[in-house]
Amino acid sequence: MQTVPFLDLKRQFAPLKAPILEQFTDILDTCHFAGGPHVQRFEEHFANYCGVQHAIGVNSGTAALELALRALEIGQGDEVILPAMTFIATATAVLHVGATPVFADIEPEAFTLCPQSAASKITPRTRAIIPVHLYGQPASMEPLMQLAATNSLAVLEDAAQAHGAEYQGQRCGSIGDIAAFSFYPGKNLGAAGEGGAITTNRNDLADRVRMLRDWGQDRKYHHALLGTNARMDAFQGAVLDLRLGHLDEWTRQRQSIAMSLAQALSDNPLLIAPKSHNDRTHVFHVYAAQTDHRDAFTAHLNSRNIASALHYPIPLHLQPCLAFLGYRQGQFPNSEKLARREVSLPLFPGMTEDEINAVVCGIRSFKHNETDA
């Protein structure tokens, strides 16, 4: 029987091996390893791609979130509102700059930060909100930007899963004050290792991020800010610049596979397809189906050699390492429901017709008599 992996990066990298090796040779010849022209070229192209003034390459999405918060001068005593359903880095970045993460619930069908829930969490200490473009679909930016403007809050987009996704014609990463991207290998635009970027239209924030990633230097050995080493590696800059040219084609493939999966899911009353808003494009970093019979469904897929994953089985307010924040089960029902019911299906560029058909058949053949498993 057909074996369908959750993701196969080899198919994306194999055709790019020769041009990547050419770039690597160039870097070895010049020995410009940290930052430098390869990183700068990628930064220019990525800024253009996002429709934004500045893109600043760093060494991870986690570093991008932390430096964005530091550039906004958020720290001790400040509160930052973010969704309870996201990857843990969104919350740990807030803690690592000394501020307090304040969770809000997600919208029930789009899974991104709910503007009403976020509004209810605002206090005199709130300084910023972090909408996460979860699974590759932009958050409801118009009401969130309005909320931020009314309350003088900064908006930091966590765009780690949403390279190229558009909200009312604007690309993710160009809407808030500042944004953080990840180029972890499995992301829609991935490096051959670790990487991240900050995008912004604000010159003051861009200047500060450029200093912060390089030990806070404004000139050699003059440290104006308390910075760190978060510079992007030249090899990663070169790989990312080459891969950026293929991103739109890969996104189209993701969207086309998503249509096949949605069709199959809509024919099975036990399963629910993710919903897309029509004022935004979804780039399907994760294809998040839902079901009340998750264990049985994943076992059914497994028996047909089809991989699946969970994003994410535990919402952040119930994570053991964040217990000290004092949240309880039941506080964010939409996040908790998604954590119980979500199943991520295989969807990646280079997936074959046979593999897509195998997943479609796996979806269609899941029946009631399996659900007591």
Ligand X SMILES: *Cc1c(COP(=O)(O)O)cnc(C)c1O
Q: Which of 43, 78, 107, 158 binds ligand X (CB under 6 A)?
A: 158
Element at 56 (helix H, strand E): strand 54-58
Nearer to ligand X, 163 or 293 (CB): 163
Q: Which of 23, 86, 199, 308 binds ligand X (CB under 6 A)?
A: 86
> Considering the rule CB under 6 A, would residue 237 count as an interface residue with ligand X?
no
> Considering the rule CB under 6 A, would residue 188 count as an interface residue with ligand X?
no
The closest residue (CB) to ligand X is: 61
CA neighbor of 254 nearest in space, from 188, 189, 191: 188
Nearer to ligand X, 87 or 332 (CB): 87
What are the DSSP E strand ranges found in 159-308?
166-167, 170-171, 178-182, 196-200, 217-219, 222-223, 287-290
> Considering the rule CB under 6 A, would residue 161 count as an interface residue with ligand X?
yes
Beta carbon of residue 65, minimum distance to ligand X (angstroms, whole number): 6
Pairing of strands 287-290, 342-345: antiparallel
Rg (CA), the chain: 21
Residue 95, C-beta contacts closer than 8 angstroms, at least 6 positions apart: 101
Listed ranges 37-45, 85-93, 212-220, 330-338: which one lies at the site for ligand X (CB under 6 A)? 85-93
Listed ranges 54-62, 76-84, 218-226, 237-245: which one lies at the site for ligand X (CB under 6 A)? 54-62
Q: Which of 4, 38, 43, 62 binds ligand X (CB under 6 A)?
A: 62
225 vs 67, 314, 315, 360, CA distance in Å?
12, 37, 35, 54
Beta carbon of residue 96, minimum distance to ligand X (angstroms, whole number): 12
Element at 24 (helix H, strand E): helix 17-30
> Structure tokens of 313?
């089985």
Q: Which of 36, 57, 61, 349 binds ligand X (CB under 6 A)?
A: 61
> Considering the rule CB under 6 A, would residue 182 count as an interface residue with ligand X?
yes
Beta carbon of residue 296, minimum distance to ligand X (angstroms, whole number): 28
Reduced to 3 DSSP states, what percent helix, strand and coil does the chain have, rounded to the nearest 5? 40, 15, 40
Cβ–Cβ < 8 Å for 347, 287? yes
Spatial distance between the Cα atoms of 297 and 295, rounded to a whole number of angstroms: 6
> Considering the rule CB under 6 A, would residue 284 count as an interface residue with ligand X?
no
Q: Which of 160, 175, 264, 306 binds ligand X (CB under 6 A)?
A: 160
Strand partners, 198: 56, 180
Q: Which of 42, 87, 235, 366 binds ligand X (CB under 6 A)?
A: 87
Beta carbon of residue 192, minimum distance to ligand X (angstroms, whole number): 13
Instruction: Using CB under 6 A, list all residues that contact ligand X.
Output: 60-62, 86-87, 89-90, 132, 158, 160-161, 182, 184, 196
